[in-house]
Structure 1
Amino acid sequence: MTMLSVTLFPVTSYSAVENQLPRLAGDTPGVTDVVYNVEPEAAREVKVSTSTQLERAIAQATAGTTIVLADGTYTGSKALLISGKHGIKNSPITIKAANRGRAILAGADVLHIVRSSHIVVEGLKITNTGTDTRSVAVQLDGSNNVQLTRNTFAVPATGKKLVWLEIKGENSSHNKIDRNDFNGKSDPAPVIASSGHGDQMSQHDVIEYNHFRNVAFSKANGNETIRLGLSKLSFSEGHNKVQYNLFENCDGDLEVVSVKSGKNDVRYNTFINNRGGLTARHGHDNSFYGNFFFGDGVKEKVLGIRIYGNDHKIYNNYMEGITGDAIILDSGRYDGGSNGKPPQYTPEDLKSHWRVYRATVVNNTIVNSKVGITVGSTNTEKKYVPTGSWIANNIVANKTGILYHEASSTDTVFKGNIGFGGTLNNASRGPSEIVTVNPALTISDGLHKLSANSPAINKAVSDSKLEQRVKVTDDMDGQLRSKTDVGADEFSNAASSRKPLKASDVGPSSS
């Protein structure tokens, strides 16, 4: 019998683990396995007031160090570089403003966090504008477990392409971007651009409780507020979450949030009067649910959700005053196949609009909008129509226009939908597929919800094939569903745990 010899090596920091790992595991006689007992370091606070002091404090920082920046302006590439620094889970390295928003990063430099982990950056004002070789204000590069929290991004215009926050690099994962304010971007390029390394998307990142606002209109392509991936990452799984964010007047690109990777969740966000919407541009098996979309009914091209690719799920979304398509399963220019990864393809194929396979659109509510749910396209260049999709248990109550618009002839399954007010459909559908009935909505908390006498109550169609795709267990308010009502709202007397977000719910000052 082979005996397992285990030796405990107490070390004081993650960097110590990295330094000792090759030597201990390979050079210690009789040791067949190594267990590291990482001991938390004592918390240490370092106060700085100059760029030189900041540079020195970062260089000397270990797990548990908190660097506190006095009010003032900090510049210089070395002062803004965090490279090869590692905190540990309960003892991160923290860099924070003594007074939120009054420690300012400025100049033609980049806050560059590279090959680091368990770093917290809190309460700073970001005004630095990148360099000639790196057109980005803040960059997380090959790092993990980095948190950017309660910062104010107010980067002045340069007239050049400039990403305000980029997440990239090998082994990028588990980063958190929360409670920041991103306000007033007018330069080209995304506000947040998340990619990765090679063909692997950055994984398990969370973007939440941020306030995105006043992104200036641009005729150029590529000015998304959040870009989650790239065309070359189409086959990569992200497992990222974009949640509880408020987007207001984000007009830079028709894709306010552009998902270009797979297995991500975009949920519980509020979109207010943005010129654009949420798009699954590349990638497969993304879930879009519990979001609130509002337009004023006047501003053009205020959109909801548009998708391409395979196995996307759209449910529990509320849309009001949309002046474009509320939900569209578009036709594609390229057929990537049922499994979503063809044996042969080119870089140009990856950039194309991919055919929709097996989309699931259930329990959404659309009111007072221009177009409800659209399947297919009238664009003759988009010849690959959606296939294998389900549209079930939705409410569309628009005063004018087409409620359910089948722009192409497809094999889409319709079940249990309600339409009221405009033209029901441009194709022939029976009442078991789409029924014309007043859903008897009432205004509650500023939303069109089911009244006690609504015919939508307990009338959602149940189908085993549908539930294999997605099982809707609660509603847009976070209330549990019982027999399940049609639309995003479940009639209930229970308290709501989710509502449309306000400015006070997000950003640096939110709780």
Structure 2
Amino acid sequence: MIRSFLVLSLLGIHSSCKKSDKGKEEDGGTVVVPPPVDNGGNDDNGKVIECKSCKVISSAAELSALTLTAGDSVMMKKGDWNNQRLVFKGTGTAQKPIVLIAEKLGGVILKGASSIQIDGKYLEVNGLNFKNGDLSVSKLNIVDFTSSSANCSLTNTSIVDYNPADATVDYRWISVNGTNNRVDHCYVKGKKHQGATVVIWGSNANSGILSHRIDHNFFGERIDLGNNGGETIRVGTSDYYLKESNVTVEDNVFYKCSGETEIISNKMSKNIIRNNLIFESRGTLCLRHGNGTEVYGNYIIGNNVSTTGGIRIVGENHLVYNNYIQGVATTGQTCAISILDGVPNSEPSGYFQVKNVKIVGNSIVNCSQGFDIGAGKGGNNRTVPPADCTIANNLVQKKSTTTTLLTFTDAPSNFTYAGNLASAGLSLPVGLTGFTLADLKLATNSFNIYEPQTGSPVLNAFQGTFPFFTSADVGANKLDDQHKALLKAQGIGPDWVQGLGDVLIIKAQ
């Protein structure tokens, strides 16, 4: 997979420095000076790129006229690009990708009905700034990886307020087809119209294996759409729910992404959703279709905003572990962790029974409801309760007002509960074992994240053996350097946009 630091090396820029996946320049290189974040990617201070070997273009027509081969680099002249439909074609290699880069990072401003199609192998698009556009006439997607694309990437790019006047018009801001493509270190904000912000499309090719990676992006505000179809990221569709797509969604920030009930909507099998921050966002991280997806290392911070949700589970063989959920205010299907009822003999677009899901080592802090088992019973013909699941070594701390520890909306079959700890004063459902009530002795650290203190019953209390997660303590792991960076949005978003983490203020209760 192409890394954005590879572009600098290929162009002969900052040859003494490299950019890590955290988005930081190391080893003494020149740092790109970014503009303020609230201008949606102002180009005043972006780094000017020097490249004597680049093919320089000033329009989409000039790009289309080029015949590009492995190792070529194309530079887009800085300034406004109005109504430019870019088609970026070519076949690079892992060692010699073909690069399309802004002359000034953030300084190529695409407006009007501008869009880009990425159509080839080992292509990289770097440093573009889509701002205040409208594709309602063309009905194209803003960024479109074609079905024949492979090993391509969109990096270091901003898309802000690209909205039609009519909010019912449906187009995607980033549409990902093909295989092994990557969207990284981008800033995406302000989608107000119908359709998911980022869509990864399912496919029957290669047995459905897609292997895309969505990482280190900052997804800014998305207002409540008022109906279905407002996801920030959707992985697949119900038509391909049994396909093992091997998509990874990691190290992203979702800030006030409130388009609908699903923020990240997983609709295929065998994906990884890890180490993301979901902050003050309406809705849930939702395992909507498919089986065998791993969800771990995520931080969900609701800050007691009334519509914030947690993790919502449908399907089989998922692993949900080592997640930290704080201040989620909703109950029922969108509570901290909800395990839904299924539909008998469900169609692909329906709700399959939850089976053999393991929910281990999660921290649920100051939320209105910890768990809802059989959530949504009766709605959409859901009458099949969950079965054969494990809930172990989870921590539930009550909020100062009422917290419901666990609700049986429907009675599950063959559930295992072990090693869970919850605050003294909470009420256990009659007959429920595997939960111990105690003074958890938690306190906030400098990030306002709760951690066990000396003498806490959480410490060294982990029970059982789970091959996917090893820990000494009950609940999620203690905040580490990787997640400290995540909570401040360090190394996330484009190089030329600063201050993204300033809005991420966690409130202790």
When normalised by structure 1's length, the TM-score is 0.80
1:304-327 deviations in Å (ceiling 9; x for gaps): 100101001100000110012000
2:364 aligned to which of 366, 372, 395: 366
1:112-161 deviations in Å (ceiling 9; x for gaps): 123x1100000001245446564411110121111100100124311211
C-alpha distance in structure 2 between counterparts of 1:264 and 1:208, whole Å: 14
Aligned to 1:32: none
1:343-381 deviations in Å (ceiling 9; x for gaps): xxxxxx111011101110000001111000221136333
Mapped pair 1:161 → 2:170? yes
Amino acid at match of 1:455: P
Deviation at 1:106, TM superposition (A): 3.0
Aligned to 1:402: 404
1:204-253 deviations in Å (ceiling 9; x for gaps): 11100000011111112111000001010101111110000000000101
- Matched residue of 1:505: which SS? coil
- Matched residue of 1:456: which SS? coil
1:242-265 deviations in Å (ceiling 9; x for gaps): 000000000101100000000000
Deviation at 1:416, TM superposition (A): 0.5
Amino acid at match of 2:98: I
Amino acid at match of 1:487: G
C-alpha distance in structure 1 between counterparts of 2:67 and 2:82, whole Å: 19
Contact 1:267 1:288 in 2 (8 A): yes
Aligned to 1:300: 306
Deviation at 1:70, TM superposition (A): 1.7
C-alpha distance in structure 1 between counterparts of 2:241 and 2:437, whole Å: 39
Aligned to 1:90: 95
Deviation at 1:417, TM superposition (A): 0.3
Aligned to 2:503: none
Aligned to 1:282: 289
Aligned to 1:119: 123
Contact 1:129 1:136 in 2 (8 A): no
Deviation at 1:489, TM superposition (A): 2.6
Deviation at 1:382, TM superposition (A): 1.8
Mapped pair 1:244 → 2:251? yes
- Cα–Cα, structure 1 residues 281 and 422, in superposed 2: closer, same or farther, change >3 Å? farther
Aligned residues: 430
- Matched residue of 2:336: which SS? strand
1:471 aligned to which of 468, 473, 485: 468
Segments of 5+ residues of structure 1 without an aligned counterpart are 1-41, 337-348, 474-480
Aligned to 1:27: none
Mapped pair 1:328 → 2:338? yes
Aligned to 1:414: 417
1:175-194 deviations in Å (ceiling 9; x for gaps): 11000000111011011011
- Matched residue of 1:193: which SS? strand
Aligned to 2:492: 506
- Matched residue of 2:256: which SS? strand
C-alpha distance in structure 2 between counterparts of 1:496 and 1:209, whole Å: 15
Aligned to 1:340: none
- Matched residue of 1:196: which SS? coil
Mapped pair 1:206 → 2:216? no
Q: CA RMSD in A?
A: 2.2
Aligned to 2:36: none
C-alpha distance in structure 1 between counterparts of 2:60 and 2:116, whole Å: 13
- Cα–Cα, structure 1 residues 74 and 60, in superposed 2: closer, same or farther, change >3 Å? farther
Amino acid at match of 1:45: C
Amino acid at match of 2:389: S
- Cα–Cα, structure 1 residues 313 and 335, in superposed 2: closer, same or farther, change >3 Å? farther
C-alpha distance in structure 1 between counterparts of 2:191 and 2:420, whole Å: 40
Amino acid at match of 1:281: R
Deviation at 1:426, TM superposition (A): 2.5
Amino acid at match of 1:124: L
C-alpha distance in structure 1 between counterparts of 2:288 and 2:208, whole Å: 15
Aligned to 2:505: none
Higher relative contact order, chain-length normalized (CA < 8 Å, sep 6+): 2
Counting only pairs closer than 5 Å after superposition, residues 123-202 of structure 1 correspond to structure 2 as 123-127=127-131, 128-130=133-135, 132=137, 134-142=139-147, 143-158=149-164, 159=166, 160-168=169-177, 172-198=178-204, 201=208
- Cα–Cα, structure 1 residues 221 and 497, in superposed 2: closer, same or farther, change >3 Å? closer
Deviates more, 1:253-262 or 1:395-404: 395-404
Deviation at 1:76, TM superposition (A): 5.7
Mapped pair 1:486 → 2:499? no
Aligned to 1:452: 454
C-alpha distance in structure 1 between counterparts of 2:430 and 2:270, whole Å: 33
1:398-452 deviations in Å (ceiling 9; x for gaps): 132211222221121100001115533223223xx00001111121232101112
Aligned to 1:8: none
Aligned to 1:35: none
Amino acid at match of 2:429: N
Aligned to 2:55: 46
Counting only pairs closer than 5 Å after superposition, residues 11-22 of structure 1 correspond to structure 2 as none
Contact 2:113 2:138 in 1 (8 A): no
- Matched residue of 2:88: which SS? strand
Deviation at 1:291, TM superposition (A): 0.3
Deviates more, 1:66-75 or 1:222-231: 66-75
2:262 aligned to which of 251, 255, 259: 255
C-alpha distance in structure 2 between counterparts of 1:201 and 1:44, whole Å: 39
Mapped pair 1:391 → 2:391? yes
C-alpha distance in structure 1 between counterparts of 2:213 and 2:239, whole Å: 21
When normalised by structure 2's length, the TM-score is 0.80
Aligned to 2:441: 440
Contact 1:209 1:244 in 2 (8 A): yes
C-alpha distance in structure 2 between counterparts of 1:260 and 1:427, whole Å: 35
